[in-house]
Amino acid sequence: MDKLKERWGIESNWSLLAIFIVFAINGSFAAWVAKPVTNIIGLNPNTISGFIYWPLRILLIFPIYQLTLPIVGWVFGQFKFFWAFEKKFLSRLGLGFLFKTDD
């Protein structure tokens, strides 16, 4: 755990625990939100093949997860960590231009 705390720049075990809880809650929340969204856009496992439904639902979970991660992190007092985490992650996906500022 000390290696992870050092890598993430975290000093307390409580912060580390809060970060783990945020990852867990946000993953479940994103999957939960994806179900009604797929229904709204007309995707239903009863009307289309599971080979189409599940990949589309998983692809839908990804942006929901990314959008809600800093929000759930804020609720647990870890917004600064998750905002930096999000910027780094999205930059690696080639979306770093979203965070560039003209200083």
Sign of CA dihedral 2, 4, 9, 14: negative
Spatial separation of the C-alpha atoms in residues 74 and 22, rounded to whole Å: 9
- Residue 89 has what pLDDT? 86
What predicted TM-score, i.e. pTM, was given to this entire model?
Answer: 0.78
Encoded tokens for 47: 């009307």
In whole angstroms, what separates CA 58 from the centre of its chain?
Answer: 12
Residues of the chain short of pLDDT 70, as ranges, are: 100-103
pLDDT at 102: 56
Crossing angle of helices 13-40 and 79-92, in 10° steps, is 60
